Amino acid sequence: MDITDFYETFFEEAEELLADMERHLLELDVDDPDSEQLNAIFRAAHSIKGGAGTFGFDVLQKTTHLFENLLDHARNGEMALRRDIVDTFLETKDMLNDQLDAYRNGDEPDQEAFERICKTLQQVALEEIGKGLEAAGGDMPQPDGGAKSEPPSQSAEPEADAEPSSDSAAGAGAANDGCRVVALLGVGEKDRELLVEELGQLGEVVEHHGDEKRYEVVMESTVSDDDIEAVMCFIIDADQLEIRAPVERADQGEPSATADAASDEETAAQEAKPSAAPEKAAVASDKPKSAESKGNDKPKPADKSKAQPKAKAGSESTSIRVSVDKVDQIINLVGELIITQSMLDQTVSELEGPANGNLVNGMSLLQRNARDLQESVMSIRMIPMDFVFSRFPRVVRETAGKLGKEIELVTEGAATELDKSLTERIIDPLTHLVRNSLDHGIEPPDAREAAGKPRTGKLTLSAKHQGGNIIIEVIDDGAGLNREKLLDKARESGLNVSDTMSDDDVWQLIFAPGFSTAKEVTDVSGRGVGMDVVKRNIQGMGGSVQITSKPGEGTTIRIVLPLTLAILDGMSIKVGSEMFILPLSAVLESLQPAKEDIYAMAGDDVVLKVRDEYLPVVAVHEALDVADARTELTETIAVIVQGEGRRYALLVDDLVGQQQVVVKNLETNYRKVPGVSAATILGDGSVALILDITGLHRLSRQKKEARRHKPADRSLESVTDNEMETSS
Amino acid sequence: MNQTTDVALAAAEAQNSEFLVFSLGDEEYAIDILKVQEIRGYENVTRIANTPEFIKGVTNLRGVIVPIVDLRIKFNLEKVEYGGQTVVIVVNVEDRIVGIVVDGVSDVMTLSPDQIKPAPEFGVTLSSDFLSGLGSLEDRMLVIVDIDKLLTSDEMALVEKVAE
């Protein structure tokens, strides 16, 4: 094992820390900052810096170092916070994210951006430090300025000592005594070197000596014990670390017992120096490590819940990180279990006689347990919408700032759960919709006042469950969509519109490609490329978008998404002897076509009149070459389905029933098949294909086309020619 | 047995490879045994429309959807029957799992490099590109198929073409 094995741990932790940091920054009240929050932000920056230093991520380390210094001043009250400073902090946080990503991908971070952010931070440091507390301001060293403007160099290190020294004056959170002994227990030589170097960045290492069992570093530092521990925990377990103040400089080697008796047990357990009792029991050994793990010369990556500083802050983390692959594997296996169970069920139900009573009981118990198991397993993949919503305060704050609007963001239903893969994919479209609402929906404060509305606009993000779907709404109380303007614009863009279109249809125009009603292109929105992409993305997730709008009262954009992509509510249909699944969400109704409602059109196209609408007829048996299907239209069943906003009448032989199916990708081992979106496994263990409605329609058109041209051009659709002869 | 032959044998063994021998009609074919994941019966295959005839469809292999290819159709054999003896060899090719239908699996053979002769240029149905050679075993001849190349080739249409 070498240190690169811990990279991933560091990246993940750093990412969480950054997310945490952002949350705190956004919640921060600039006029009356909560010191706990400032501390939390500081700790996050600090832990990242520590880890970055250890892993040799120079740029990241330097940036966090500067950042941390500023934060340190802020939390000590030596620097007054202002909104724009917080904005700078947020920007820094973004930069850190970028740098982290770069390292993760094995690249070097953008040097230019790094220098820019350093300059900004130094600027802030020069201008602001000391404004908060006149008293503390005087003795501020200014090394910030020079050393940092140049790209990573070792010169950055010395001032790490210089600056924190000022907070010993302020005294907040820091140790009261600058000198302490950090003992590393059972740490291998290679890691030891790293850790000593690491400690060197927190303060000045006076002396270090010892062996693997116990290695002592005497250092001068004003950083608090907690912070030292937080940094070290990227490398070693908390119980491998012991921090205390030396009794006397002279006997660092043989520290004698100090008064604090509370932590004797730990030292005793280690039997390294029976006489030494750490003065500060900063290290809680909540997981007694056995002697052999101490002896390992390479420690295991630190237990996450312990390593994270936030765990120390009180909210003990109770989650574990598991790869999605593993979860999917479990979901797969449970799916198999359910299938096996229903097969058994089938067999048992065919048995008769009282002797089988136990068996029948056992089976029904098995069935219940299996269903429960499936439900719990599926819920592993679900994460709360908070994951998505939590990034919007930031988006709203920035966009509103740019546009000069006053906006209050309200989120509802953040606890609503959604499949992880969907949550990740909904972020971009939702961000776009929010920006759009801010830009086009909500009016500038003055206009709002003139319209008799409060100056501050309100943007609501809400999520709720409805049936098997999740409904996400972006609601603004702005001016609403303007029907006339939309129609004019549509005509200008050459779209086919008429004045008699329903409101719903007019609203849908904003999703047309290249459509934008903004008079000017701003950097927030207005290029007209976004909304059609939004719609396509959402449809790609199996969802739909609806708009309701009232002039003067606002617009609501409603996204309806399935809860998960892994399970689908399906309607099983039969065509000939083959079974297919239709997504239930696409099915509107089904009916038996009457002869007088069927109209033939040019060639062999057929439309079906359903109430006032003429729907194109798609014969499934033709599109999919099912040989033994009913071909007489009036004997079939027409299922009215909707796909990509259009309706079709699918001709099938029978409706079998509704069932939830587990969606299996066809492309994993095979390839994309026209007219089929995925596959699933039925109760009897056989595979059924899930139909893709628009694909099916396309397919049937291609077939008709091919058939029409067949006598002339046999090479077209050569693959299916044979089968088509039998079906036509 | 003296020591020198021992060493020579060990060296030869190191280069020997094992092949799974299967039959298509009267012909004997062999594939690298390391590609084979399992052997199972032919059952419960769901047809997929609009695919070449030799792609029989997909089946459920413990929760995984696996395409089934009938090599007998692909190789233009005259007699293609499905019965209790019909066997599916499940192979692992470039991270994909594919089942191939054959008439029967006979045995596992170890062939030394000098038993494998280069494949002559021939074949319209089975291009020699897809062969790693011909194995001679006393009076038997094994056609050694490079199953990786064969199954990922364009003409098998099993793998999505990048251009599409």
Secondary structure class of A512 (helix, strand, coil)? coil
Reference A525, options A459, A403, A435; nearest CA is A435
Reference A626, options A601, A644, A651; nearest CA is A651
Best of B65, B66, B152 to mutate (most A CBs within 10 Å, chain A):
B65
| pLDDT at A710 (0 to 100) | 60
| pLDDT at A247 (0 to 100) | 54
pLDDT over threshold 70, residue A660: yes
**Within a domain: B9:** no
For A622, the closest chain B residue by CA position comes to B49
pLDDT over threshold 50, residue A288: no
pLDDT over threshold 50, residue A156: no
pLDDT over threshold 90, residue B36: yes
Q: Mean pLDDT score of chain A, rounded to an integer?
A: 73
Contacts (Cβ under 8 Å, ≥6 apart) of B16: B110, B111, B112, B113
Q: Does A679 touch chain B (CB under 8 A)?
A: yes
| pLDDT at A721 (0 to 100) | 39
Contacts (Cβ under 8 Å, ≥6 apart) of A450: none
**Within a domain: B101:** yes
pLDDT over threshold 70, residue A274: no
**Within a domain: B129:** yes
Q: Is A56 left (phi over 0), alpha (psi -120 to 50) or beta?
A: left
CA A610/CA A457 separation, integer angstroms: 44
Per-residue b/e over A359-392, b at no fewer than 16 CB within 10 Å? eeeebeebeeebeeebeebbeebebbbbbbbbbb
Task: Encode pLDDT of A646-659 as tens digits.
Answer: 888 999 999 988 87
For B91, the closest chain A residue by CA position comes to A669
Number of domains in chain B: 1
Torsion on CA atoms A75, A76, A80, A85, rounded to nearest 10: -40
**Within a domain: B97:** yes
Residue A128 C-alpha from the chain's centroid: 35
Task: Encode pLDDT of A584-634 as tens digits.
Answer: 888 889 998 888 888 887 767 788 888 888 888 888 888 888 888 888 888
Torsion on CA atoms A401, A402, A406, A411, rounded to nearest 10: -80
CA A679/CA A175 separation, integer angstroms: 62
Position A292 confidence tier, pLDDT thresholds 50, 70, 90? very low
Q: Would you say A58 and A99 are in contact if contact means Cβ atoms under 8 Å apart?
A: no
| pLDDT at A142 (0 to 100) | 43
- Which CA distances in Å does B140 have to A564, B56, B125? 55, 30, 22
**Within a domain: B66:** yes
Task: Encode pLDDT of B113-154 as tens digits.
Answer: 888 888 777 666 667 778 888 888 888 888 888 888 888 887
Q: Which residues of chain B does A664 touch, with a Cβ-Cβ cutoff of 8 Å?
A: 63-65
**Within a domain: B57:** yes
In which order are the strands placed within the sheet that holds A606-610? A587-591, A637-643, A646-652, A613-619, A606-610, A598-600
pLDDT over threshold 90, residue B90: yes
Return the percentage of chain A with pLDDT > 90, whole number. Answer: 4
Q: Which residues of chain B does A574 touch, with a Cβ-Cβ cutoff of 8 Å?
A: none
For A679, the closest chain B residue by CA position comes to B65
Q: Does A121 touch chain B (CB under 8 A)?
A: no
Question: Averaged over A334-346, what is the pLDDT?
Answer: 78
Provide the residue type at B45 as one letter.
Answer: V
Q: Would you say A51 and A10 are in contact if contact means Cβ atoms under 8 Å apart?
A: yes
For A626, the closest chain B residue by CA position comes to B49
Reference A84, options A25, A159, A138, A162; nearest CA is A25
Q: What is the ipTM of this complex?
A: 0.84
Reference B112, options B136, B85, B143, B84; nearest CA is B136
CA A667/CA A517 separation, integer angstroms: 40
Q: Does B63 touch chain A (CB under 8 A)?
A: yes
CA A565/CA B46 separation, integer angstroms: 22
CATH number at residue B43: 2.40.50.180
Contacts (Cβ under 8 Å, ≥6 apart) of B6: none
Q: Which residues, numbered 66 to 95 in chain B, qualify as contacts with chain A under a Cβ-Cβ cut-off of 8 Å?
A: 66-67
Task: Encode pLDDT of A20-47 as tens digits.
Answer: 888 888 877 777 777 788 888 888 888 8
**Within a domain: B162:** no
Question: Averaged over B53-75, what is the pLDDT?
Answer: 88
Q: Would you say A241 and A229 are in contact if contact means Cβ atoms under 8 Å apart?
A: yes
Task: Encode pLDDT of A515-572 as tens digits.
Answer: 665 555 455 544 445 777 888 888 878 788 888 888 888 889 999 887 777 777 789 9
| pLDDT at B58 (0 to 100) | 93
Domain range holding B73?
18-156
Task: Encode pLDDT of A220-272 as tens digits.
Answer: 766 666 666 666 655 666 666 667 666 544 444 444 444 444 444 444 444 44
> Which one has a higher pLDDT value, A28 or A129?
A28
**Within a domain: B1:** no
Provide the residue type at A680 as one letter.
Answer: T
| pLDDT at A136 (0 to 100) | 40
Nearest CB neighbour to B65, from listed A625, A664, A699: A664
Q: Which residues of chain A does B42 touch, with a Cβ-Cβ cutoff of 8 Å?
A: none
Helix, strand and coil percent figures for chain A, each rounded to 5: 45, 20, 35
Q: Does B58 touch chain A (CB under 8 A)?
A: yes
